[in-house]
Structure 1
């Protein structure tokens, strides 16, 4: 059989490229560093079962989703009735039934109130091809004439599903900030996320980075009354009490003056004056304008920075801040300041995540798996090569050369694509040896 020069050249070029891409995976790091820059340096990425790493199974806290949604809905109802329509009301939250009960100070305004809160209806759909979606709210009335707003089961399910999808994207951004390669982030069921990070052995740090909500908000501190006084006398309307990092409590306005979604950058830095690590942040254009307006209108007032429902700091506004930048100071170490900056850059999780399962695969176990896999591959290759030479003579030698090139091309493709090699992958390569040799003989 004669091959045309063009076909021979193509085969030679493909074989050469396969060898060039495959070689770096079998060389030590110092040799790869000295490798000429024009040659490929990519290596096969080893999976969790081969190089060790961290495995986390996370579950979205559905109770937390319901609680937070009811809190938001309560503020929306109060704002719609009292602020926009001048309808006095008293709202009671029942998390057991996932509902709000609204008692009007003037029952004759019931029709107007019903119309006003009906406008809060929200339709949720997670499908790109579905039409309509499901209603999140159900409206009703109690036997004694009070209005009710209830979260529908279908709405809660759809919201949970949407938040899981958003959480996966945030988790991916956070892990990418850690500089790891080939993390596996998969959705499991309706409310779980599986995270596997090969080569990252600090599972506790990974858990802290992934599961922390990192919801950053800015609130004005309520003037003229402490948290202790508010607890004794009753909370003023539209306020809340949150714990502070120093062990105390702060009385804040519920309304978020500015949210962490307006941040475009966050970096760990060092405050020379106070000799402590801090996190410097920068707002986008819209956030910078809002920040400047807030600080200009509230000079002399205290402005609280809240992270995950804990007041990190509540400094007094000394002068308008129009540059759109600021600092978060607290009891940070260099490591915790860096981790917080990572979280803020990646964005807040839309829902809190609970760790259901946590495993760390030791690197020594991965080394054993690699050794066993290599042994199996070498034994299989030697047996196949020997059998082919004995059974087919010179043609067996040709088949063996083709077999070796086939394996080289597999590793070259894995290296070029940055694909992950797992223990089942090694088994697949061993199986390929038998399949490929049959093809070469035929």
Structure 2
């Protein structure tokens, strides 16, 4: 029994050490690691204000909702990592945070463009609109140059087929926001619902127009009422300070647990390392964007995880002082502390869920990291720590209770 427990503990320590070593590079990789938010990575903060049309038609909540959805689709198509797009109905605007954008001005132009796509006959009458479009993709044309390949919906394909049949030998115009993109001559009817817009000098220009066409046109015109860039240097400085604060806090926690709880304190410190690995890997797998409030939520959950260990250990010490063996004290202490720990986890988790559901932006980030941390600490406190303590007390049936912070004369 003694030898088997020692082997299990040594194997577990080696396994966690290897996991820590293998985790460092993928978790902190600047391109594939845990994505950083605007406040840590730098980027641009935009406020797009909706404007009434010339007829003075009032802007509705539905208009803002549609604008937000279209802008979010455009941002996602641009490949921006985890953007934050929020609707402000009271002020009739859309707030956008883009982290790590290499060309903010180009991104701004794409987001605010109304992107109303129309196909017009030789007399300038609109026959087909972007609503009939199913997809748009950039590519290279057969004769060189770059193009946007269009795919129409079933209804749009019928309209396009009728239009190209009627105007064989004549030119039809393709417009984006009343600006002529191309004016091709129809050689034969096009009945397969496919079309091609030519004339792009670069693949990037074609791709940007494809994004606009694919996302659809905004229901209202949008102007940039606020544009603020967040420098990467500010983000790096904030990240370093957060890391230092977290490191100092962890060192203090580790020392506190060692001094006051002796051997169980070592187990608690080891469990905290496992806890941190679990949380960080969850962040990485689900691409949770890490922000300053998110780091605060993570650090808070670490403190709560330690607090749960303290509750459990105090119960264990009470059982040992009452005359029970270390093995019986561990089992009884965990059983007595179980309800208290579960209650604390559940109530805090409810608060985190509420913040995430009703909050926005950084509040959601805080709530998400706090919630993930609570679930991870529940596992480590109730399951992992308990099993490691079982193996520890199983090393020797006559282990000195002083290693658990209980003097013999106190039993």
TM-score class, shorter-chain normalisation, is 0.5 to 0.7
Consecutive unaligned residues of structure 1, counting only runs of 5 or more, are 34-41, 68-94, 99-150, 223-251
User: Hey, what does 1:259 align to over in structure 2?
Assistant: 129
User: Hey, what does 1:182 align to over in structure 2?
Assistant: 82
User: Hey, what does 2:37 align to over in structure 1?
Assistant: 47
For 2:219, what is the secondary structure of its paired residue? coil
Taking a change above 3 Å as real, the CA distance of residues 32 and 303 of structure 1, as seen in their structure-2 partners, is closer
> Do structure 1's residue 353 and structure 2's residue 222 form an aligned pair?
yes
Q: Which structure has the highest strand share of the two?
A: 1
Distance 1:431 1:30 in 2: 21
Task: Work out whether residues 44 and 104 of structure 2, in 8 Å CA contact, stay in contact via their aligned partners in 1.
Answer: yes
Task: Work out whether residues 44 and 420 of structure 1, in 8 Å CA contact, stay in contact via their aligned partners in 2.
Answer: yes
Identify the match of residue 46 of structure 2 among 53, 56, 70: 56
Pairs within 5 Å for 1:114-263: 156-157=58-59, 160-190=60-90, 191-222=92-123, 252-253=124-125, 256-263=126-133
Taking a change above 3 Å as real, the CA distance of residues 337 and 261 of structure 1, as seen in their structure-2 partners, is same
User: Hey, what does 2:241 align to over in structure 1?
Assistant: 372
Identify the structure with bigger relative contact order (alpha carbons < 8 Å, sequence gap 6+).
Answer: 1
Distance 1:368 1:198 in 2: 16
Per the TM alignment, residue 363 of structure 1 is displaced from its structure 2 partner at its CA by 2.4
Task: Work out whether residues 26 and 33 of structure 2, in 8 Å CA contact, stay in contact via their aligned partners in 1.
Answer: no
Per the TM alignment, residue 366 of structure 1 is displaced from its structure 2 partner at its CA by 2.0
Deviation by residue 1:71-106 (Cα, 9 ceiling, x = unmatched): xxxxxxxxxxxxxxxxxxxxxxxx4xx5xxxxxxxx
Task: Work out whether residues 258 and 291 of structure 1, in 8 Å CA contact, stay in contact via their aligned partners in 2.
Answer: yes
> Do structure 1's residue 277 and structure 2's residue 146 form an aligned pair?
yes
User: Hey, what does 2:286 align to over in structure 1?
Assistant: 417
Per the TM alignment, residue 31 of structure 1 is displaced from its structure 2 partner at its CA by 9.0
TM-score of the two chains, using structure 1 as the length reference: 0.60
User: Hey, what does 1:290 align to over in structure 2?
Assistant: 159
Per the TM alignment, residue 57 of structure 1 is displaced from its structure 2 partner at its CA by 1.3
Distance 2:241 2:98 in 1: 22
Deviation by residue 1:220-274 (Cα, 9 ceiling, x = unmatched): 122xxxxxxxxxxxxxxxxxxxxxxxxxxxxx23xx201112222222233454x
For 2:74, what is the secondary structure of its paired residue? helix
Q: Which structure has the highest helix share of the two?
A: 2
For 2:67, what is the secondary structure of its paired residue? helix
Per the TM alignment, residue 423 of structure 1 is displaced from its structure 2 partner at its CA by 0.8
Identify the match of residue 305 of structure 1 among 170, 174, 199: 174
Per the TM alignment, residue 377 of structure 1 is displaced from its structure 2 partner at its CA by 0.9
Pairs within 5 Å for 1:83-122: 95=55, 98=56
Distance 2:115 2:21 in 1: 43
Identify the match of residue 320 of structure 1 among 181, 189, 202: 189
Distance 1:212 1:32 in 2: 31
RMSD over aligned Cα atoms: 3.2
Taking a change above 3 Å as real, the CA distance of residues 299 and 405 of structure 1, as seen in their structure-2 partners, is closer
TM-score of the two chains, using structure 2 as the length reference: 0.65
Distance 1:402 1:279 in 2: 55
Consecutive unaligned residues of structure 2, counting only runs of 5 or more, are 312-411
> Do structure 1's residue 393 and structure 2's residue 252 form an aligned pair?
no
